[in-house]
Chain A
């Protein structure tokens, strides 16, 4: 089922992680990404993994959900591993046969690159799992609002994102529905040559387009009926508030970065 797509899926909950201000989570995710790139020792990876595990535990996200999120990336992960394993230059051979050479440095690199990719992915998934898409958009808009001074249309941007996010589940639902209806009329979406299959998509795409335009039209009308006229001077229904928990989160983030730098310096 299309509904089972987990990319960017939000798992509602009421944990300290869920309750953090979305701005805090956005900034910390950014810090986390930088931190993963700063790691320069196995001890550093250990620290990042421990931090990730701790946040996962506190937010009550099942580790399985994180792993499932990584499924679509499995190809990239394997590719990274193979590339680093076989094509790292060096003389410290672990294994050598004809033109196939594996070096200790290569193994080292492969493991650390794969770890890095997996850590980056699971970190960002943790953000989307614990923060509703609307909250993320809200947070982004607030974080980017200084750019308004430079005439960047931040508000319009975030409105577009908001609407798009709101419509994705609707579109998926609609696709499901139309797919069922056409399958009920004997549509065959799975077999056939490539051109045949492309043609078989028309009965799906046309109704989908028609209904998207209809929805957009209806939404525009509804917004106009409520006298919507752009972002200038609008107040928000949901105000974002930083609380002491956000301060604590920033402190922990800073500790993580400091720890990584320290371990890197010590070479542990």
Chain B
């Protein structure tokens, strides 16, 4: 059974007013357990609206969302279940920090789960460990942390709930490249360790590249769905939606336009290097 199954999901904001706006229209999607999925799309394409339905924060105008085959809106208990089994980290999560200490803030979710104190302690320490927050920071006020540390503390707050599906909306926005890389690696390591599922909303093609499955949204619909290889080989369509290609794919595209014959579906630097070296007749891949 699929972990998440969305059928005919439509969401209309401010229905019945002059500001009515259809953000998602008749969308179907299934997510299997254990996948890492990237969701890309232009600003306003409906990504945030879609993920707010995964843990029942928004009510669909039409359609259903099934978690392990159960309707997440069926009852109050089902909604609560979904909130805990699907962890959502929104954009700029550092603005949600409020407790007096970092420890207490990370413990907020597990506490709402009504777990016993030793279990809360264990989870907080483990979650902080996953995102690389040292124990020496536990007693500090979250507002005194650096920007990157705040982000980690906020993400740890959701990890501590030990969700089966972790959804992150632009988790690396506003971080420097090193911080971005580091955070991403930690998230992937967390997924490995817990054999959980990750859905990443991102603008960054190099991040999308590293997921097993890539969803492309445009105008409230999922317009492409496949492996990064499959999606990035449909360059023209991606460009027409107004999305960036990964740097390597862009270079390959420009080279092809200038008559260099490269194999299709190049989207990592490694592949590009290999292809170019192969053209030079020494395909050892050491670039």
Residues of A near any B CB (own CB < 8 A): 1, 3-4, 11-12, 65, 174, 177-178, 180-188, 202-203, 206-207, 210-211
Contacts and interface: CB of A to CB of B under 8 A. Distances in A.
A203 B99 CA distance: 8
B109 A186 contact: yes
A207 B18 contact: no
B95 A177 contact: yes
B84 interface: yes
Given A180-B57, A207-B97, A207-B98, A185 B90 contact: no
A65 to B, nearest CB: 8
A207 B57 CA distance: 19
A168 B246 CA distance: 39
A4 B17 contact: yes
A6 B98 CA distance: 30
B157 interface: yes
13 contacts: A174-B95, A180-B90, A181-B96, A182-B96, A182-B108, A184-B57, A184-B90, A185-B108, A185-B158, A186-B84, A202-B98, A203-B96, A210-B143
B216 interface: no
Contact of B88 (A65, A184, A210): A184
A189 B97 CA distance: 17
Interface string B147-169: 00000000001100100000000
A233 B110 CA distance: 58
B17 A181 contact: no
Contacts of A203: 96, 98, 108
SS class of chain A's interface: helix, strand, loop or mixed? helix
A23 B118 CA distance: 65
Given A186-B83, A188-B112, A181 B93 contact: yes
Contacts of B18: 11-12
A115 B158 CA distance: 53
A183 B58 CA distance: 11
Contact of B109 (A185, A206, A210): A185
Given A4-B17, A203-B108, A184 B95 contact: no
Contacts of A187: 108, 112
Q: Which of B17, B84, B161 has the most CB of A within 10 A?
A: B17
A180 B58 CA distance: 9
Interface in B75-105: 80, 83-84, 87-90, 93, 95-98
Contacts of A188: 112
A180 B51 CA distance: 11
- What 6 A-B pairs are tightest by C-beta distance, nearest first? A186-B112, A181-B96, A206-B98, A185-B109, A184-B88, A203-B98
B113 interface: yes
A175 to B, nearest CB: 11
Contacts of A210: 95, 98, 143
A3 B17 CA distance: 11
Nearest to B79: A183
Contacts of A11: 18
Contacts of B98: 202-203, 206-207, 210
B55 interface: yes
Contact of B95 (A3, A178, A202): A178
Nearest to B108: A185
B97 to A, nearest CB: 7
A211 B92 CA distance: 12
B14 interface: yes
B14 A207 contact: no
A178 B96 contact: yes
Contact of B14 (A3, A65, A178, A185): A3
B52 interface: yes
A189 B271 CA distance: 51
Nearest to B109: A185
A205 B160 CA distance: 23
B186 to A, nearest CB: 19
A186 B90 contact: no
Nearest to A180: B57
Interface in B1-31: 13-14, 17-18
B90 A177 contact: yes
